[in-house]
């Protein structure tokens, strides 16, 4: 192709690129595109504001949840301290009146379960008075017991599994020629209903399940 032909081709391409789109020169169509662009911008801005508000609401909900957890932990800690104080007071009274109270000190002795039943146990224990001190005795099954073992007792509702009482740092003892883990609790721990009791042992920064027990309190 000669140079003159190249020039003609370039002019043709330039004219084609600069040629206006048919119909776009009408004002109504131009305004339609402008309105459409404004609507898109408004929608994008509204979505951005909604997203910012959603993030703010989510952060507020997370903060409220955290505050609720902190308050709940505080209430549980206060309840545990009050319960421990009542138990310590009951234990002190029992020691001071050992001579007269030794024969009347109520005990609750439970044997380990072989298998958890499908239904809660029958209610066989009368509900004690809230301020009454009770010695809870959990019999240990046969087996080697590590020297200096420390145990934890967890009392949970049988159906829901909510923990209603716990104590750790307990050691085993021989009472009436039987190996057991014993501790004192107060009667307000046991409201009417069925409970499962878990006995665990801590060793080498690990927790091992030892035995499970069940008890049901009459109304």
CATH number at residue 176: 2.60.40
**DSSP H or E run through 33:** helix 27-96
Residues in the chain: 219
Note the pLDDT of residue 149.
84
Note the pLDDT of residue 4.
53
DSSP string, 59-125: HHHHHHHHHHHHHHHHHHHHHHHHHHHHHHHHHHHHHHTHHHHTTT--EEEEPPPSS--SSPPP--B
**Are 86 and 131 members of one domain?**
no
Note the pLDDT of residue 47.
87
Q: What angle do CA 25, 27, 29 make, to 5 degrees?
A: 80
Note the pLDDT of residue 73.
73
DSSP annotation of 19 reads S
Note the pLDDT of residue 103.
47
Note the pLDDT of residue 101.
46
**Are 101 and 111 members of one domain?**
no
**Are 23 and 91 members of one domain?**
yes
Domain containing 36 equals 1-105
**Are 62 and 126 members of one domain?**
no
Burial of 216 (0-12, 13-18, 19+ CB in 10 A): middle
pLDDT digits (tens, 9 = 90+) for 6-41: 555 555 555 544 455 555 566 766 677 787 788 888
Domain total of the chain: 2
Domain boundary among 84, 105, 126: 105
Note the pLDDT of residue 9.
52
**Are 4 and 57 members of one domain?**
yes
Per the CB < 8 A criterion, the answer to whether 146 and 203 are in contact is: yes
Domain boundary among 105, 125, 141: 105
Give the chain's residues under pLDDT 70: 1-26, 28-30, 77-105, 143-144
Domain boundary among 57, 73, 105: 105
């Amino acid at each position: 192709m000669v140079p003159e032909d190249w020039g003609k081709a370039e002019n043709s391409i330039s004219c084609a690129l600069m040629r206006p789109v048919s119909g776009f020169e009408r004002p109504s169509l131009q305004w339609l595109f402008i309105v459409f662009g404004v609507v898109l911008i408004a929608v994008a801005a509204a979505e951005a504001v909604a997203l910012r508000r959603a993030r703010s609401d989510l952060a507020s909900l997370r903060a409220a949840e955290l505050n609720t957890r902190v308050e709940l932990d505080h209430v549980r800690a206060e309840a545990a301290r009050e319960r421990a104080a009542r138990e310590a007071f009951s234990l002190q009274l029992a020691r001071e009146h050992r001579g007269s109270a030794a024969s009347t000190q109520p005990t609750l002795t439970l044997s380990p379960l072989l298998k958890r039943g499908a239904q809660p146990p029958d209610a066989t224990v009368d509900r004690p008075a809230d301020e009454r001190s009770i010695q809870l005795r959990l019999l240990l099954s046969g087996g080697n017991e590590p020297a200096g073992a420390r145990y934890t007792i967890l009392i949970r509702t049988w159906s829901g599994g909510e923990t209603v009482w716990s104590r750790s740092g307990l050691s085993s003892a021989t009472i009436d020629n039987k190996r057991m883990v014993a501790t004192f609790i107060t009667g307000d721990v046991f409201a009417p209903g069925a409970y499962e009791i878990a006995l665990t042992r801590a060793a080498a920064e690990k927790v091992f399940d030892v035995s499970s027990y069940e008890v049901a309190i009459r109304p």
